[in-house]
Structure 1
Amino acid sequence: MKKTYFYFFVFVFGCILTSTAQTSYLKGIVLDEAKTPIAGATISYEDHGVQSDKSGVYELEIPSNKEITVIISHIGLKNLTFTIKLEENQEYELNPVLKTDIQQIGEVVISGRERKAVQGITTLDPETIRITPSANAGVEGLLKTLPGVSSNNELSTQYSVRGGNFDENLVYVNEIEVYRPFLIRSGQQEGLSFVNSDLVHNVDFSSGGFQAKYGDKLSSVLDITYKRPTRVGGSADMSLLGGSVSAHGISKNKKLAAVIGLRYRDNSLFVKAKQTETNFRPKFADVQTYISYNLSKKFEVGFLGNLAINTYDYEPLTRQTNFGTIQRPIALSVHYNGQEEDKYNTYFGALKGTYRVNDELTLKLISSIYQTQEQEYYDILAFYRLGTVNTDIGSENLGEIEFTKGIGSQLTHARNDLDALIMNVQHKGSYIKNQNQIEWGVRYTKEDIRDRIQEYEIIDSLGFSVRPPLPDYKNEQPYIPYASPIVPFTSIRATNATKIDRMSGFVQYSYRGHINDHEFWTNAGVRAQSWQVTDRDTKSDQQVVISPRAQIAIKPNWKSDMIFRLSGGWYHQPPFYRELRDATGTIRPEVKAQESIHIVLGNEYSFELWERPFKLTSEVFYKKLTDVNPYTIENVRIRYRADNNAKAYAQGLDLRINGEFVPGTESWVSLGYLKTEENIDNRGYISRPTDQRLKIGLLFQDYVPTIPNLKMYLNLLYQTGVPGGSPSYADPYDFQTRLRDYRRADLGISYVLKDQNQTYRKGHFLNYFKELTLGLEVFNLFDNQNSITNTFVRDASSQLQYAIPNFLTPRLLNFRIGMKF
């Protein structure tokens, strides 16, 4: 009751003050030239002032009936100064646009953008993400042009970073960790990435040595921030590969803001262009939204939701692959019966509450729930012929097999079902005082996975069932009678009900100061995680890991604009469900966390060339890994041994130069060198499946000077082959065959029919659009034959095995239309 009287008194007293004070209010949203909100801008007059919040919103109380000079400022942007006079109790809305201060480029100041550079974070422009041509356009498509990031499958959104695999990358959207489906085997099954590019406001990426506030993975962090809109609008993008529609809006009182996006993806254009003739009926679709509401000036609530429905119906018919040499051409011809029916339905929802106690203290509470229901059903019978090809140009049978060297069949079967439920609750906090910042967090995760695996493969060669290449099935006929049972070449049967309880937390401290005239920044923190695995009646011991991490960066007071950075730590990756499951499908609760010691030494040099800004970023890294969980990769499916019986290392150099090679556009060239090897059971070091020795990436943007609305985007990638040319059942020490080098160039040409600066006569249809763009994309411009895996077929006469490459997509055309409202 006393609290009720107190609140009533405060309310009445506030009303009296409001009615008697001679004040007015200036409010709005501070924007940059790209019309995106600016957090931390200062709005002041005389000795009074406020700062805009993370959504760019501000409210400044000023005296009434008096001319006041207001200054709006932000580091790296030009100050905006104006005089205003408001009547008593008047509210005036002003949404200022701050322009880039070109004169500050060469100053020795750590600006907002540089604060990310000293942390080893690469920031990508969301608009560049949306317009860059890629077979799987989006954030991941642009990441693959960066040094240290590798992928040899254009249909997949998965990527490996500095020797790690796909499961070693963290992905956050608005500080909420997101997940990907479990049963995906090939890139053409994936469809859509979780991240919707139409909703993205900011993209930060770290490829190693990241801070303690990020989770427990070994390789990288992708940190996405979705938009908080400042106006009502929308966008649409349509092409032969599908389409997307998004809308955004904000209420009149600026409290409620929302974005929503719908996407549809159809990979038929790519799959039907491959060498396997198919009936292909994919349906990849999702709807995603982020809604935020300011309950008060201090408290904001946000909701992130995603619903994805993916179906994959695949019926292969025939395939012919020609390989060999000009003197000795060979072909594999396959006829199929059967089909594959897969489903991947995911549901995700998260609530985030942010309470800004004052300018120094911020508290957050985040909860999320993720469910995926997946099925993988297929029965495919393949009859193959292996032989020499008719090369007689005048023959009616040119290109067909004229002499058969091998013949056989293969039956693959699967009835795999998975239902996973992952729940998270976490608290995060931040306290900033002068140049000091303390951040902390604690999180509880509950994982409940129900999994049934039933799959086998039967191989028949000339009427004989091919047995597994295991000692128990050794065949020495006719000298010794074969007495072992006839079994499938591979067979996996398991039913798992796995529950994992995790508790994790972190604390870290950051400080920015000066040593003489040199500016420096440092961060030190520690993470800890405890977990326990239960699989039916088997329960593992409680396991605990502690991960200390640190960073330091120095910006010398030199004429040259440089930043030097050293980061590293002791990183752990507690096993997720996939890492607990061995090659037989059995869960091993005792699997330990993989460990890695990171050391990253980096330099960033900003300079001017042709009177335009450029930046050269270089990093040298080394990782020492212990308790490694060895694995094999087939397309994008990873199979672990689940026994922590290896140690490994990764070392390399990453270089990237980016800037305005063409005035007004950003382009870059990246170069990466990597060497990663593992030692399994102390048998010696061999290349890991992700040993991508050399990588060159190029993103180039250009336009016609006399027709600036005619633009060009080139995405070019070269990577040396990774180990993966051996059968999945093979001993990696016996097979270190590498796939062929991966070479790809994607070209996009677009013409802007209407942009936001153009106006037309009243009633013209283009006035309905803020922007309207027509585009043509050419994927795999030079029609390079890249391969993802090999199919191994026996020659009946010589008993040799041939490695027939499974080629990826050839050159394709795509038409695209984009619009904004």
Structure 2
Amino acid sequence: MLKRHLLLFLLLLGFTGLKAQPLIKVTGMVTNELQQPLSDVTVRILGQDQSSLTDEKGSYTIYAASTAFVLKYSLLGYKPVLITIHHDKAGRLIQDVRLSESSNELEQVRITSKQNQLSNSTTINIAGIPAMPSPSGNFEAILKTMPGVSANNELSGQYSVRGGNFDENLIYVNDIEINRPVLIRNGQQEGLSFINSDLLSSAKFSAGGFEARYGDKLSSVLDVKYGRPDSSQAVLTGGLNGASLSTKLLRQHGFLLAGLRYKNNTGVLGTQDNKGSYRPSFTDAQLIFQQELSPKLSLNFLGNLNSGTFKLIPESRQTEFGTLSRTIRLNVGYDGQEVDDYRTLGGAVTALYTPKPNLVVKWINSYFNSLERENINIQGAYFLRELSPDLVKPGAGGSATDKGTGGYFTFADNELRSQRFSSELKGDQTFNNHTFSWGLRFEYKNYRDELNEYSLIDSAGVNRFYGGPAIEVKNKLDIQYYSAYVQDSYRLSAHTDLQLGLRANYNSLSSQLLLSPRLLLAYRPRGNNKIFRWSAGVYQQAPDYRSIRDFQGQLNGNQKAQRSYNTSAGMDYAFDGLGTRLKFSTEAYFKYQDRLIPYMMDNVRIRYLAEEMAKGYTYGADFSIGGEFVKDLVSHFRLSLMQAKQQIGNDPQGFLKRPTDQIVNFSAYFQDRLLNSPTYKVHLNLLYGSQLPIGAPSSDRYTDNFHIPAYKRIDIGFSKDFLDDAALRKPGFLDKYFSSCALYAEVFNLLNIDNTVSYLWLKDLNNVQYAIPNYLTGRRINLKLIIKFKNMK
């Protein structure tokens, strides 16, 4: 009996010895850069089911079941910290941690940064850009999910904001204003945007009510920075639509950023109705170099080369349109080709001088030279047939009734050369509760344009030709712009801030002195989770080459600046809900424009009625909510409601819809985890934009009695990061050389919806005009791989 008890005791002791492991108690405090305690910080042991949260004093306690483990500290709005622990034996360990703010995520859900209280802009989560499924692959894809932005073309990087057109948006890169090409008429011709997402350090977007430091346009501001990186690194991206390589190098007294990009979206373009040989090729190279010459003086250089060629040899087209009871099919056979190319070369040098801690002065000099050419020589023979209901069904019998045959011819041989030079001196200085800003700027633009184009349509094969008149002109234009601004941001009280600014602008084209006062008032109640803003101001846009050129290529040198009186009221509110921290934002606005240059939209080409003048108004409201609905993955939803109208001259029809009058816009970008694994993720991008007004070319050019149907699109992506911090097992080879290795599988236009971007207008035997929709891209699968190399020493 004694032997049996002794054996049982030894067996129990053995099992206990097998299960017993060293137990380490880790305690500490988590603070921010100001050494203030941070609450609700997640402390997790990677590879183990152990996690904890810090309390109001920033303290935490967590237990580890091994002597070697990795602790991860994470809080939305702050950069995560990983600490590797090696401890000889069980016991207690004290580990204090300091987290630094992440400018990419902080403003998504938190309202604590007083320096942004007087900024009527939204911080963009640039860390999430690589995961967003987008056929264009350009940075601007994320803008189309922002409040106030309208979207109806996935191939284009252009965007409309609160009823404005593409020309009314300001884009700055390191305080350098960037312009878009002029001749591009279709989204498929667009290549790589100027902004390289891999090199960004921050990005902010304002849909209106922006401050006086920004330039003289009517609608919006996108302000992006290529700044000093946190560490040296290299990122390689490769996919079916192109490839890119970026490098960031830290130096003792400066840094260097370099990026190469290549884009070829042949597969995406091949999903359109027009079948043929698509040969797009777009390349881009950027270099940013900054060197500190002394503790008070540094120099920054930005260089850019952006070029692209789009070649199309069309073969055929088949498009069906109409209703369920009456379906018409268009068949077209083509001959000829289209070749478009552009090149932009330029750069900027910025001197940054800080003579005193409270004073910063910048001197920015930039020069860009652009060449744009389009050569189109295409003729098509078309057949219009009305299908019986049975014929519409695949594989079913039925008949077709001929509605007519005809042909059309399009020719263009255009070349535009432009040069832009600017020099700007600006400063910011702080005095007690005041931040005083000022700036002086000179800009010179030179255009040399040769237009030679015409189009003819043989209506239904009976020699009824119609189309626009032939255009053959040569234009030369030089414009000088002089501008200045002053601005004061003043702390009225502990909870209220006021910003007053004034811009002055003079240009040699309209010879107008334009004064634009602007005001922004912000109030932050106690509790630090709300901000109320009210803005009012005058926004004036001086004429430029595009707006003074009419349909026939003639220039209106007497055109005056466009002017808009804007006011808005909004609120940001941060709260806890759905188990996470959320941020709700809303803003209502009204814009009255007493001087507008009316225009018509044709795909992405803006055609101004340069000799006309209009007045109009726009009003609406934007709503958005976002946060970490799933831990560490930021999602957001937004809704925009708007109406934009105008009256051209003394048109007896009164106020009509503007071409950008898109009443409802909704977007959702949602991210989640799959298979209960933190390394598998899904990224869903949903866009909806209600119908847009348009007029037939044979009717009065002021009418808005036709429309482009609502834009509906869903893109979805799936990703797997083999080196995710939370991965239980990491491939040894990848872990040795790379810090991240993420594979993406994307489905563009998941529901294969036919979205219309414009119309082809043809007539039948009875001289009845048809609007044949030009559809955008169909469903397409894409694969891409993003590799981040280990930090280079």
Looking at structure 1, the residues matched to 249 and 350 of structure 2 have their Cα atoms a distance apart, in angstroms, of 19
Structure 1 763/703 Cα, relative in aligned 2: closer, same or farther at 3 Å?
closer
Looking at structure 1, the residues matched to 730 and 409 of structure 2 have their Cα atoms a distance apart, in angstroms, of 66
Contact kept, 8 Å, 2:635 with 2:670, in 1: the verdict is yes
TM-score (norm 1): 0.81
Looking at structure 1, the residues matched to 176 and 149 of structure 2 have their Cα atoms a distance apart, in angstroms, of 23
Is 1:768 equivalent to 2:737 in the alignment? yes
Contact kept, 8 Å, 1:569 with 1:597, in 2: the verdict is yes
Contact kept, 8 Å, 2:391 with 2:399, in 1: the verdict is no
Structure 1 198/334 Cα, relative in aligned 2: closer, same or farther at 3 Å?
same
Contact kept, 8 Å, 2:429 with 2:436, in 1: the verdict is yes
Contact kept, 8 Å, 2:458 with 2:465, in 1: the verdict is no
* 2:450 corresponds to: 452
Q: CA deviation at 1:795?
A: 1.8
Q: Which moved more, 1:641-650 or 1:400-409?
A: 400-409
* 1:24 corresponds to: none
Looking at structure 2, the residues matched to 569 and 137 of structure 1 have their Cα atoms a distance apart, in angstroms, of 35
Is 1:525 equivalent to 2:509 in the alignment? no
Contact kept, 8 Å, 1:391 with 1:398, in 2: the verdict is no
Q: CA deviation at 1:463?
A: 4.2
Q: CA deviation at 1:297?
A: 1.2
The one of 493, 509, 518 equivalent to 2:472 is 493
Amino acid at match of 1:660: E
Segments of 5+ residues of structure 1 without an aligned counterpart are 1-32, 45-74, 81-95, 469-487, 534-540
Instruction: Find the residue that maps to 1:770 and give its secondary structure.
Output: strand
The one of 409, 422, 425 equivalent to 2:423 is 425
Is 1:274 equivalent to 2:272 in the alignment? yes
Amino acid at match of 2:235: S
Q: CA deviation at 1:719?
A: 0.8
The one of 508, 523, 548 equivalent to 2:487 is 508
Contact kept, 8 Å, 1:458 with 1:466, in 2: the verdict is no
Looking at structure 1, the residues matched to 621 and 404 of structure 2 have their Cα atoms a distance apart, in angstroms, of 46
* 2:180 corresponds to: 180
Instruction: Find the residue that maps to 2:351 and give its secondary structure.
Output: strand
Looking at structure 1, the residues matched to 393 and 477 of structure 2 have their Cα atoms a distance apart, in angstroms, of 61
Instruction: Find the residue that maps to 1:764 and give its secondary structure.
Output: helix
Is 1:696 equivalent to 2:666 in the alignment? yes
Instruction: Find the residue that maps to 1:188 and give its secondary structure.
Output: helix
* 1:744 corresponds to: 713
Is 1:631 equivalent to 2:602 in the alignment? no
Contact kept, 8 Å, 1:459 with 1:489, in 2: the verdict is no
Instruction: Find the residue that maps to 1:782 and give its secondary structure.
Output: coil
Q: Which moved more, 1:452-461 or 1:161-170?
A: 452-461
* 1:191 corresponds to: 191
Contact kept, 8 Å, 1:594 with 1:644, in 2: the verdict is no
Is 1:415 equivalent to 2:416 in the alignment? no
Looking at structure 2, the residues matched to 143 and 586 of structure 1 have their Cα atoms a distance apart, in angstroms, of 34
Matches within 5 A, 1:9-28: none
Contact kept, 8 Å, 2:209 with 2:568, in 1: the verdict is yes
Structure 1 808/507 Cα, relative in aligned 2: closer, same or farther at 3 Å?
same
Structure 1 288/757 Cα, relative in aligned 2: closer, same or farther at 3 Å?
farther
Structure 1 693/462 Cα, relative in aligned 2: closer, same or farther at 3 Å?
closer
Q: CA deviation at 1:802?
A: 1.4
* 1:287 corresponds to: 285
Q: CA deviation at 1:193?
A: 0.9
Contact kept, 8 Å, 2:597 with 2:610, in 1: the verdict is yes
Amino acid at match of 1:194: F
Segments of 5+ residues of structure 2 without an aligned counterpart are 1-29, 37-75, 82-96
Is 1:561 equivalent to 2:529 in the alignment? yes
Q: CA deviation at 1:330?
A: 1.2
Looking at structure 2, the residues matched to 235 and 216 of structure 1 have their Cα atoms a distance apart, in angstroms, of 36
TM-score (norm 2): 0.84
Instruction: Find the residue that maps to 1:131 and give its secondary structure.
Output: coil
Matches within 5 A, 1:220-369: 220-251=220-251, 254-369=252-367
Amino acid at match of 2:383: R
Structure 1 111/356 Cα, relative in aligned 2: closer, same or farther at 3 Å?
farther
Looking at structure 2, the residues matched to 374 and 138 of structure 1 have their Cα atoms a distance apart, in angstroms, of 20
Structure 1 758/329 Cα, relative in aligned 2: closer, same or farther at 3 Å?
closer
Q: CA deviation at 1:77?
A: 7.4
Contact kept, 8 Å, 1:119 with 1:553, in 2: the verdict is no
* 1:597 corresponds to: 565
Structure 1 762/549 Cα, relative in aligned 2: closer, same or farther at 3 Å?
closer
Structure 1 699/123 Cα, relative in aligned 2: closer, same or farther at 3 Å?
same
Contact kept, 8 Å, 1:772 with 1:820, in 2: the verdict is yes
Instruction: Find the residue that maps to 2:754 and give its secondary structure.
Output: coil
Amino acid at match of 1:603: M
Structure 1 813/400 Cα, relative in aligned 2: closer, same or farther at 3 Å?
farther
Contact kept, 8 Å, 2:122 with 2:206, in 1: the verdict is yes
Amino acid at match of 2:197: S
Instruction: Find the residue that maps to 2:533 and give its secondary structure.
Output: strand
* 1:475 corresponds to: none
Matches within 5 A, 1:151-162: 151-162=151-162
Looking at structure 2, the residues matched to 550 and 327 of structure 1 have their Cα atoms a distance apart, in angstroms, of 56
Task: Give the % identical residues.
Answer: 38
- Deviation track 1:734-760 (CA, whole Å, cap 9, x = no partner) reads 442111111001101000111367698
Contact kept, 8 Å, 1:118 with 1:563, in 2: the verdict is no
RMSD (Å) for aligned C-alpha atoms? 2.8
Looking at structure 2, the residues matched to 817 and 466 of structure 1 have their Cα atoms a distance apart, in angstroms, of 54
Q: CA deviation at 1:489?
A: 3.8
* 2:164 corresponds to: 164
Instruction: Find the residue that maps to 2:371 and give its secondary structure.
Output: strand
Aligned residues: 701
Looking at structure 2, the residues matched to 133 and 269 of structure 1 have their Cα atoms a distance apart, in angstroms, of 15
* 1:5 corresponds to: none
Contact kept, 8 Å, 2:656 with 2:704, in 1: the verdict is no
Instruction: Find the residue that maps to 1:181 and give its secondary structure.
Output: coil
Looking at structure 2, the residues matched to 666 and 125 of structure 1 have their Cα atoms a distance apart, in angstroms, of 8
Contact kept, 8 Å, 1:210 with 1:568, in 2: the verdict is no
